[in-house]
Amino acid sequence: MASFGNAFSSSIGKKLIMGITGLFLISFLVVHCFINSLIIVNDGGLTFNMGAHFMGTNWIIRAMEVVLFAGLLAHIVQGFRLVFQNRAARPERYAVNNGAANSKWYSRSMGLLGTLLLIFLIVHISKFWVMSRFTGIPTVDANGNHDLFAVMVETFKNPWLVLLYVLAMVSLAYHLLHGFSSAFQTLGWNHKKYTPLIKGFGFWFSIIIPLIFALMPIVMYLGYIN
């Protein structure tokens, strides 16, 4: 009888889930980065708050938010399961293992980098998202939109949080440096014509997006945007 069988529970199926959810989370990064970049207008947050208002009220975005959390959860749960299963595949470790001779450290540390990102996400979501959706943002701006920008300015007065955000973005950059092209390899898209493009694009994407994100708390802390 024809069935999907172990399509998703097999070793390749597990990779497929990581790859698809990973690429989906990458697409979310682009949207998030664009909306946040509106602070560059430097108009006391009016434009940014308009963007935040749109993200908070548009029903397509709100529906995608549920998909986003589902994708994030799948990526995290599957990621941890893979870490433990893969460790179990080598019960006795090597006394000497020269991993640096054959692979990049960050490709061997996706679990660690992902865990750092998870810790960051817990702080990040509790600082901004919970307030936006549930507890409510205390003030409104001149346009009558919730003043999320003011929350940002307040949050990034704390140098420790700025440091946490910058370090998290370094983790994100390394996570993406492996994850971006790795997802395409997992999907089977390894091709002499396309792979150099994917790798090149993935490299710059992995640097530029986290860099833009990291610059936001820095410029706010330094008072360039307020």
Partner 1 sequence: MSTGNMNLTLKIWRQKNNKAKGSLVDYKISEVSPDMSFLEMFDVLNEDLVAKGEEPVVFDHDCREGICGACSMFINGRPHGPKEGITTCQLHMRSFKDGDTIVVEPWRAKAFPVIKDLMVDRTAFDRIIASGGFISVNTGNAQDANNLPIPKVQADSAFEAAACIGCGACVATCKNASAMLFVSAKISQLAQLPQGQPERYRRVQSMVAQMDAEGFGNCTNTGACEAECPKGISLENIARMNRDFYSAKFVSEESI
Binding region for partner 1 (CB under 8 A): 1-7, 10-16, 82, 85-86, 88-99, 101-104, 107-108, 110, 178, 182, 185-190
Contact 8, 61 (CB under 8 A): no
Could you report how far apart the first and last alpha carbons of the chain are, in Å?
64
Nearest distance, CB of residue 92 and partner 1, angstroms: 5
Choice between 91 and 136, CB closer to partner 1: 91
Q: Which is nearer to partner 1, 58 or 190 (CB)?
A: 190
Give whichever of 81 and 133 is closer to partner 1, judged by the CB atom: 81
Which lies closer to partner 1 via its Cβ, residue 66 or residue 88? Answer: 88
Number of H helices and number of E strands within the chain?
Answer: 8, 0
Using left for φ > 0, alpha for ψ between -120 and 50, and beta otherwise, residue 189 falls in beta
Give min distance, CB of 118 to partner 1, in A: 17
Closest approach of Cβ 59 to partner 1, in Å?
31
Q: What residue type is 225 in one-letter code?
A: I
Distance CA 106, CA 89 (A): 20
Compare residues 4 and 134 and give the one whose CB is closer to partner 1.
Answer: 4
> 42-66 in b/e burial notation, b at 16+ Cβ within 10 A?
eebbebbbbbbbebbeeeeeeebee
Radius of gyration of the chain (CA): 20
Minimum CB separation from partner 1 for residue 207, in Å? 20
Q: How far is the CB of 104 from partner 1 (least distance, A)?
A: 7
